[in-house]
Amino acid sequence: MGGKVTCTLGEVKNRADLIVYWGGNPAECHPRHFTKYTLTQKGKFVPKGRKDRTMILVDIRETPSAKAADIFLQVRPSKDFEVLTTLRALIKGQRVSAETVAETGLTLEQLQDFAERMKKARFGVLFFGMGLSMTRGKHMNSAALLSLAAELNAFTKFVAMPMRGHGNVTGGDVVMRWTTGYPFGVNLSRGYPRFNPGEFSTVDLLLRGDNDAALILGADPGATMPQPAIDHLARIPTIVLDPKVTHTSRLARVHITTAATGISAPGTVYRMDEIPLPLRPALKSPYPTDEDVVRRIYKAVAKKPAWFPGTK
Amino acid sequence: MTTLTLKESPTVPLEAETLAPDVIAPLRHDAIAALPVFLGKRQRRLDDFFTIEGDGSDELEVRGDLGRVKWIGRGMTRGKITIVGNAGMHLGAYMKGGTIEVRGNASDWVGAEMTGGLIHVHGDAGGQIGAAYRGSLSGMNGGIILVEGSAGIEIGMRMRRGIIAVKGPVRDFAGLQMKGGTLFLLGGAELRTGAWMIRGTIVCLKPIALLPTFSYACTYDPVFLRLYGRRLEELGFSIPYQPDAGGYRRYSGDAAVPGKGEILVWKPQVA
């Protein structure tokens, strides 16, 4: 089953002696990650900083992050699940087929060395990016990595953490989790939350054309989603709340300009390790905040006549 | 027999778990018409969407493109549903008995967590056939699912008992985390078949790519497959089980779990 064994970045800074980045490029996408939390900082139990830590990078091509790594492992595209599953077998001392391992782009010896390093670490961290979670296998790739981290706790302390993208995506997940019990892909149409990614997740709903309206908040699906999903957004009434005009605003019926959170609107942002941080605005904005707009829409909807079973 | 004809395809998914013989059989015509269905968050009547003919009976015939109608035959225990057209998601989920026949395509989650009965899809099916719902420990626990066309990802995910047979090709993760039961892949599979399987049998008639955590055991002619072969022939599916036609290469795994599952890959006799 699933489950995430995790910690905060402060613990990584003070304790981690083995840092693995999988399918991510922190040197370019999270430029302060190495210097603030993972590699160069001196920590309570890693007093010599970088010298006390080992970094392993796993990716399909040699990105600028590879320069920072002690070991770079280049896997063939869409072979991450195979590598992770093999590692799960190797840490338990199970036999695997060397020829099939070679098809992943890595040799059995490399993986055995990797498995040994993970087992011998005092405190290991697996950071994973979209190179893992958004390629063939998707959620099962993440599940494989999370299971590996959980199982390594039979030998040593090991945690896993996703490298989240721009915006407050972690916050979205965290708030959904404590309000409905599920992080995403939640349907509330029957009055109680139901969770079924693949059925209720945004991209799948749009691809099947199952929804007849959309409210987009703090995201730009028009720039990132597949074309049939974008076509459906253009077909239905779409409302966008954003500080700037995005690709999605161009195909939406309504765009409401809001104040930029953190610059001209206060709020709470969740860091990638799920630590909530308050934001204090430095500037004033003529535009309302996202919260204001949603509250006003909610009030207007509440004024409409109540709906009861049997009425159309 | 009760016949229901879809008036027009709904614009958003219609959740119609009342479309099951257990619910409809004891009812008169006007009571069937008043059965609740859910269009989005709105509760509506069954006759808002369907033209209903006849009083309630154990045999239902549903006509039209029901691709957006979900949960047909949910938890049914008896009777028969014939769908002339396509069926939506969760067809026959939690089913305990009876028969569902689809003369068209079905969508995802066909027979999810079912414990008995038979589902026969004449066209293609989607993903997660006979699977466990998210967060649930075990999927299908009995019964038979037959698919004449192709199927999607994660079929038989966490299944515990029962048979799934697919004539066409299936996509990734067939038999994911399988705990028992038998999966027949007559048209082969894409990647990662049997990933993390604990127990159970996957029979594949086409050569497939296996995970590094599966290891070759032997080539043999399993006796139990003759029994399955005869049963599947009655259902219109054939697998080779005569010793002179060839043998099955047995791979055991998945070592990552570590599990005691098996993948049997058919290898015809070289003449």
CA distance A310 to B114: 32
Of B266, B223, B224, B225, the C-alpha closest to B246 is B266
Q: Do domains A9-162 and A169-303 have the same CATH topology?
A: no
Query: B222 Cβ partners below 8 Å, 6+ apart?
Result: B248, B250, B264
A54-67 tens-digit pLDDT:
999 999 999 999 99
Tokens 């796993």: give the residue: A58
Stretch A243-249: mean pLDDT: 93
A162-219 tens-digit pLDDT:
998 777 889 999 999 999 999 999 999 988 999 999 999 999 999 999 999 999 998 8
**Would the pLDDT of B12 be above 90?**
yes
Domain presence at residue B62: no
Q: How far is B120 from chain A (nearest CA, A)?
A: 22
Q: How confident is the model at residue A261 (pLDDT cuts 50, 70, 90)?
A: confident
Per-domain residue ranges for chain A?
A: 9-162, 169-303
Domain presence at residue B246: yes
By the 8 A CB rule, do A23 and A135 touch? yes
pLDDT at site A305: 81
ipTM of the complex: 0.91
**Contact: A94, B173; criterion CB under 8 Å:** no
Q: How confident is the model at residue B158 (pLDDT cuts 50, 70, 90)?
A: very high
Domain presence at residue B180: yes
Query: What DSSP designation does B170 have?
Result: B
Mean confidence (pLDDT) of chain A:
92
Domain of B251, in residue numbers: 108-268
**Domain A9-162 class in CATH:** alpha beta
B179-234 tens-digit pLDDT:
999 999 999 999 999 999 999 999 999 999 999 999 999 999 999 999 999 999 99
A133-161 tens-digit pLDDT:
888 988 999 999 999 999 999 999 999 99
Q: How confident is the model at residue B268 (pLDDT cuts 50, 70, 90)?
A: confident
**Domain A169-303 class in CATH:** alpha beta
Domain presence at residue B1: no
Counted domains in chain B: 1
Q: How far is B32 from chain A (nearest CA, A)?
A: 15
**Would the pLDDT of B171 be above 80?**
yes
Query: Which residue in the set B40, B135, B216 is minimally distant from A189, CB to CB?
Result: B40
Domain presence at residue B54: no
Q: Would you list which residues of chain A are within 8 Å, Cβ to Cβ, of chain B?
A: 1, 78, 81-82, 85-86, 88-89, 92, 94-97, 100-101, 103-104, 136-137, 140, 189-191, 195-199, 210-212, 307, 309-310, 312
By the 8 A CB rule, do B194 and B203 touch? no
CA distance B48 to B15: 13
Domain presence at residue B16: no
B219-240 tens-digit pLDDT:
999 999 999 999 999 999 999 8
Query: Which residue in the set B40, B134, B211 is minimally distant from A196, CB to CB?
Result: B134
B75-113 tens-digit pLDDT:
999 999 999 999 999 999 999 999 999 999 999 999 999
